[in-house]
Amino acid sequence: MPTTRLAPSPTGALHLGNARTFVVNWIMARQRGWRILLRIEDLDGPRIKRGADRQAVDDLRWLGLDWDDESSRQSTRTDVYGAAAHTLLESRRAYPCICTRSEIAQAASAPHADDGAAVYPGTCWGKFADMAEARAAAGREPAVRFHMPDETFDFEDRFCGHRRFDLARELGDFVILKGDGTAAYQLAVVIDDAEAGVTDIIRGDDLIDSTPRQVLLYRALGLADRLPAYWHLPLVVGTDGKRLAKRHGDTRISYYRERGVRAERMLGLLARWCGIAVDEIDLQQFTEQFDVLNVLKDRIVFTPEDDRWLTGK
Ligand code: GLU
């Protein structure tokens, strides 16, 4: 059965950009009769904020969203991801890496645009026969990195159209398992999506660079028959053109909720970003009027006027 997922990371509160992605994801699923899973992506240990998981669920419910099933939290699935990393080591698609912890920690999070992550120069590629040798050289547990072939990669995004990447030069080898045994975002997402039978992934276009990495993991793990379709939506940015973040003021859903903004008003703003000219709208009307072909193709700019309009000031 066609399946999609809402996958909040409890590394902070959901903001208007997240709200747009989750609402569009939900509407597309309900319009097309897809199954919706909720998956809390709580792998990013040090960046996880206490209570942010509950808050994310509250915010989604406040917007009117629901789901048909809930996946296990990623933090409970260390063994499953570890086994997949082991398979990739065995097949020589991945290799031990003993580069610094801070570099690996940065490389393991979901790589949203503006992060400026550098392409890994391949320092540890071909250096160690196995994990034991790398462990002995480093005096600690190595990380595991996936090796990118020197090839171009073409794919058809359902929303953005055709994309081409130079795998080795633009993306480079990437971390799939940290030295502490925690899986990196790329690996966990592929294992979870494949296992849950996710057929359609809808997310912000700041994650489009992750798609080639994830598709290569599907193939290397023998999961090519489960490859999903990808829909990358234009990102919501501030007036400086950067991904919505703290520097743009408080854009958390909970901030507006606390100010008494009604869900219909927030949905109204999200609807306008989807080409529906309304002030306020409920989720049902939004679902009836939504057409993915009308979603604005350019990045969406959230302005101080939008903020004043939302709060009625
Ligand atoms: N949990 C991820 C994030 O919030 C989303 C991952 C995905 O949709 O693939 O960044």
| All CATH 3.90.800.10 domain ranges in the chain, comma separated | 78-186
Determine the CATH number of domain 3-76+234-311. 3.40.50.620
Question: What CATH fold (topology level) applies to the domain 78-186?
Answer: Glutamyl-tRNA Synthetase; domain 3 (3.90.800)
Q: Which of 3, 25, 40, 41 to probe ligand 1 with, by most ligand atoms within 8 A of CB? A: 41
CB 186 within 8 A of CB 112: no
For residue 189, which atom of ligand 1 is closest to its CA? 9
**pLDDT value of residue 106:** 64
Q: Tell me, what DSSP letter sits at residue 150? A: S
**pLDDT value of residue 105:** 58
Distance 287 CA to ligand 1 centre (A): 23
**pLDDT value of residue 81:** 98
**pLDDT value of residue 248:** 87
Rounded CA separation 124/135 (Å): 12
pTM of the model: 0.94
CB 63 within 8 A of CB 267: yes
CA atoms 261, 274, 30, 227: torsion sign: negative
**pLDDT value of residue 300:** 93
Residue nearest to atom 6 of ligand 1 (CA): 7
> How deeply is 113 buried, as exposed, middle or buried, from its count of CB atoms within 10 A (0-12, 13-18, 19+)?
middle
Contacts of 312 (CB under 8 A, 6+ apart): 261
CB 299 within 8 A of CB 113: no
- The secondary structure element, H or E, covering residue 162 is strand 161-166
- The secondary structure element, H or E, covering residue 83 is helix 78-90
For residue 7, which atom of ligand 1 is closest to its CA? 1
Residue nearest to atom 10 of ligand 1 (CA): 110
Which residues of the chain fall below pLDDT 70?
101-108, 112-117
CA 36, distance to chain mean position in Å, is 16
| All CATH 3.40.50.620 domain ranges in the chain, comma separated | 3-76+234-311
Per-residue pLDDT of 137-177, as tens digits, reads 999 999 999 999 999 999 999 999 999 999 999 999 999 99
Per-residue pLDDT of 76-97, as tens digits, reads 999 999 999 999 999 999 999 9
